[in-house]
Structure 1
């Protein structure tokens, strides 16, 4: 595939995933509003603590799929059909084993923690325990789905992936409507309905993959001991890194549950929801960027890989920044429109969560480059240790009497540290030129932040409060960010590409 065709495919996949996420975002925001209204602040706080496992089941399969996708993409880059079939067979065996081990651990150690350590209001323990069981099953189903999700993304069939995700979003929308009309304990019912959505989602991924891809078959099992060892090493360390991230996030929620009121936990859950939903805009771009990065490495096109990482980091940040800036400035208005009841700490928590997500976004293509060689031990062990350190530091500051928002401050500082560590490790793994990245990517991103946030924040302070004024600030923010990205974020070559793309589209629009 030529560079031009590859860039067109990346752009096409990104637009498809962007459209998918816009739709999913609106559905998700409405879903959270109804769920919070139906459950109430107290039960939503319980869901934030116990149902964090449901968030894990939504997050971890994607992470597992990205780890597995590296091997599928590598085989596709080498054009090795035999290795591709072996990769599928070995991965399927690994994920079935992971699902069984996770189920046993969660139904023993995890259940013990829920029954003995978690703070649950009087009269809600039975419902909380039922929610936990449903969340465990949802998690197991999602793990089994991971290799099938990975093969779709490795083939770069992002349109298909987007369609399945959109259908899943509408199923979740159906869940909140059923929640309003079925007479049952709302917390238990929500857990059961989310499980049902997970089962339907798994059936779609598995059925479509078997139908479309020759390597996804069960007639013959392809075994390769060396490949098993390689995949276990890579996936094991990748999963360790991802679990350390989500475990840290959930552990801090549990820490707040034990130290503050349910309303604070609900505010934390809302902030995590907002940051994760907005962050998906940038992570979707990386889903379309990840396969070509790995394929470039597999085919020894190293300079192309470096170019993809540098350009991808700027675009990833921008795709988040264009939403994050107006949301941070107008968070109070947005939450008051979105939610029936706004927990008191939700505004500040959400603003800080978006800052953390912005720092992480610029590192996403670096993570893709780190995974290309397949040597993940040092990378994930180092970053996973820092993730554990975030929780321990948050524990110390909360024990010292710091306010609840301090856990976000700790995470922001740690993410700045992890950005530097990622650069160093990717340089060690692939020879990635750090100085060029700082000059041509990090500095333009910093300039975009300063040149857009400062004037827009100043204008926001001058304008009166109100819905229409907030809409004006959001519009100004979007225009300012777009102009800054075009003139500062893009070099001459990319600016020319954007202009040519717009010119090529104008005759089609005029003739339509």
Structure 2
């Protein structure tokens, strides 16, 4: 199968999975909030915040294994690919046990001495933390298997397993609604069992499917390879921990200064953004293996081209949903949730803007990882994320409002994006002005024209479901049309026309 066709097919599979998973997840969140109540949901958001980030941990930690596996597959070296997998198993076992020690010491101490949790719920929170620690450990040690399936671009298996996990979480929600047991404690336990089951399925499948899993530790262990992967993984882990520190740190700071009710609002905002982020992450998941294989085979030009295309279309995909959602959040949240926690709308809007800015450099992140020069990149970008927390604390001590930390995060994201663009230019010698023109300038006209359509609909119609459907229809038609004529270059338009032509011929339209 041609590389371009494989990207297209895998993208289609992943978006089908996304639609199913998001639909299930939205319903599941509504049921979970109803079952737990605002107070317990807030406790879960702050104590179990790492659970909501497990998906991000899995994606980020998989990057190390996937990068080396895809690179070796680009070299068409089966022996090298097997050694990469064997040594990645050793590496992630070490990381898993290291984090286990950290969570069982620092995590337990912080929970019992610094978090603002009612004394009658503290014991439950401690049990919940143990289930979270167990789930995190299972996710980390199974990362090499995620990386192997991704490197082989087996998106069908991964998508089926993700849908199975989403259905499992929905079943958990129904169990909670009908249980007389402590619902918060039961929720943590059942999530741990589901995580264990999914990982066992993945281990069995990969061990039977891929020859790379048939390794011998004695023959395939290479200290040099461990050192090379450890160096890459350590800097990649710094980036992961920076992201976790930013998200969990924000939750903790909000808890200390404003309490668990504000945590509930932040938790809802994070879940909204998490579902939308899958739009661009799905595209990157389909493109990233091809990008790394191109770099492994010495085709730097294709790596650059894929990076620019993925950045631009990540922005278009995320904005296609986030912009109408931004303008209709009160209606959507009132339909989705029975009780909308205070501050949820303003938190959601600010987080949507932050991540919209991040889309401009999504392809750069993958290109830098494919090239392998990540130390400076992760140091600067990760440090900017971490700086949000201490700066936020300073402003909260000056009695600034609770949304201030998100404004700080937005400023840091803008600065980080500027750095990414210049670092990408430094690594690849690609012209900065060309990147800005292609990725930043071209979307401006489609965005402003489409937002004008939204504002027109809002001024002409009262807020209800009819207006929402008219709004998204007008926005979608205007946005797609303006992107086609104003937001993509001649090469991208030619490829798009070719894809549409092939689809018409295939389905005889």
Asked if 1:198 is matched to 2:195, the reply is yes
Asked whether the 8 Å contact 2:62–2:146 carries over to 1, the reply is yes
**Quick one: which of 348, 354, 357 aligns to 1:356?**
354
| Deviations 1:299-323, CA, capped at 9 Å, x for gaps | 1111111111111111111111111
Deviation at 1:494, TM superposition (A): 2.5
CA distance in 2, matches of 1:244, 1:97: 19
Partner of 1:110: 107
Matched-pair contact (CA < 8 Å) for 1:56–1:139 = no
Runs of at least 5 residues in structure 2 that lack an aligned partner in the other structure:
none
Shift of 1:125: 0.9
8 Å Cα contact 2:309-2:363 kept in structure 1: no
Give the Cα–Cα distance (whole angstroms) in 1 for the partners of residues 356 and 312 of structure 2.
Answer: 11
- Give matches, 1:31-50, under 5 Å: 31-50=28-47
Q: Is the alpha carbon distance of 1:510 and 1:296 closer, same or farther for their aligned partners in structure 2, counting shifts above 3 Å?
A: closer
Q: Which moved more, 1:210-219 or 1:338-347?
A: 210-219
Q: Secondary structure at the match of 1:404?
A: coil
Instruction: Indicate the SS of the match to 2:442.
Output: helix
Matches within 5 A, 1:224-239: 224-239=222-237
Superposed, 1:163-174 pairs within 5 Å as: 163-174=160-171
Which string of whole-angstrom CA distances, capped at 9 and with x for unpartnered residues, describes residues 300-357 of structure 1? 1111111111111111111111110111011011000000110121111111111111
Give the conservation status (yes or no) of the 8 Å contact 1:51–1:135: yes
Q: How many residues align?
A: 508
Judge conservation of contact 2:269–2:351 (CA < 8 Å) in 1. Answer: yes
Aligned to 1:124, which of 118, 121, 126? 121
Q: Is the 8 A contact 2:384 2:416 kept in 1?
A: yes
**CA contact 2:53–2:244 (8 Å) conserved in 1:** yes
Contact map agreement 2:18 2:278 (CA 8 A) in 1: yes
Deviation at 1:234, TM superposition (A): 0.6
SS of structure 2 residue aligned to 1:340: coil
1:355-381 deviation line (CA, Å, top 9, x unaligned): 111111221110011112222211111
Q: Does 1:11 align with 2:8?
A: yes
The answer as to whether partners of 1:373 and 1:430 remain within 8 angstroms in 2 is no
Q: Distance in 2 between matches of 1:319 and 1:156?
A: 21
Give matches, 1:40-439, under 5 Å: 40-221=37-218, 222-439=220-437
Per-residue CA shift, 1:186-218, capped at 9, x if unaligned?
Answer: 100000011011001111211111111101125
Do the aligned residues in 1 keep the contact of 2:13 with 2:159 (CA within 8 Å)?
Answer: yes
Distance 2:143 2:242 in 1: 19
Aligned residue among 459, 462, 465 for 1:464 = 462
- How many Å separate the matches in 2 of 1:158 and 1:94? 24
In 1, Cα distance between equivalents of 2:160 and 2:130:
29
- Give the match for residue 24 of structure 1: 21
Deviation, structure 1 residue 508:
4.3
Cα deviation code 1:123-178 (max 9, x no counterpart):
11111111111101010011011110011011111112111111111111111111
Counterpart secondary structure, 1:215:
helix
Q: Could you report, residue by residue, the CA deviation over 1:484-506 in whole angstroms, capped at 9, with x for unpaired residues? A: 22112222232233233333333
CA distance in 2, matches of 1:394, 1:324: 25
Answer yes or no: is the 8 Å Cα contact 2:50–2:244 preserved in 1: no
C-alpha distance in structure 1 between counterparts of 2:318 and 2:166, whole Å: 21
Q: Are the aligned partners of 1:390 and 1:411 in contact in 2 as well (CA < 8 Å)?
A: yes
Q: Report the TM-score, using the length of structure 1 for normalisation.
A: 0.96
- Whether the aligned pair in 2 keeps the contact of 1:369 and 1:430 (CA below 8 Å) is no
How much is the aligned-residue C-alpha RMSD, in angstroms?
1.5
Is 1:325–1:477's contact at 8 Å kept on the other side of the alignment? no
Deviations 1:66-85 (A, max 9, x none): 22210000000001111111
The question of whether the paired residues in 1 share the 8 Å contact of 2:457 and 2:470 is answered with no
The SS at the match of 1:363 is: helix
Alpha-carbon shift at residue 288 of structure 1 (Å): 0.9
For residues 410 and 293 of structure 1, what CA distance do their matches in structure 2 show? 33
**Unpaired runs of 5+ in structure 1?**
none
